[in-house]
Amino acid sequence: MGRHRFCELPFCNGVISSGCVSGCKRRCDNDRDIHLHRIISENVKKIMRYSEEKLVFTAADVTRDVFGDSLDKNQKGSMYRLFQAMVRENYLLENGKRGGLKLYKCIGKNGPRFPNKKVKSEDVVIATCEPMEEPKPVQPSKYQLQVKLREFVFMKNGSWNHDDWLWLISRTDIREFGESESIIGDMLEEEKRRFWSEGR
């Protein structure tokens, strides 16, 4: 029976098998391909403490309060990937929008987390609930597109290149709005003006 270790990301419940005897594999399969910038990787626990103290927060709040507005666009993108992993692990919950940016709420400290210990069957609580009603399909609105473009501008720190633009307009969640590239470009420029007018 092999020894098990837990993913190096403290919010993750994933288990690493003993197959990697050299000890080089420090993340579970869910998180192995998440590439975090060094400054984000070194401050995961500080970001977790911050999120547990706040009712709700945005990525901009973390950038300002934890890093003193010193992150560049690559570091902000890395933090966004960290938040996506936290949401996947039910440590954070997406909780609406503020100023076009996603609001997050920490629920992980109340959930089943098992840092540095073996998982026992009595530790695992299986929640049951009534079946949910099938949601009605919602047509994407122009406002939703605007929110996605605002997130892109924030992630790129108000500056991007042609490859970034091609990546953006090829995204499925952008194409589903059915807008032309020129309209998306105009909306993006408007969000860029907004970004810089707020003194970023």
Q: Judge residue 169's burial from the number of C-beta atoms within 10 Å of its C-beta, 0-12 exposed, 13-18 middle, 19 or more buried.
A: middle
% the chain with pLDDT above 70? 74
| CA distances to 5, 26, 39, 146, 169 from 20, in Å | 11, 9, 26, 45, 40
Indicate whether 58 pLDDT > 60.
yes
pLDDT band, residue 16 (cuts 50/70/90): confident
pTM for the full predicted model: 0.50
Indicate whether 15 pLDDT > 80.
no
Of 137 and 56, the structure prediction assigns the larger pLDDT to: 56
pLDDT of residue 53: 87
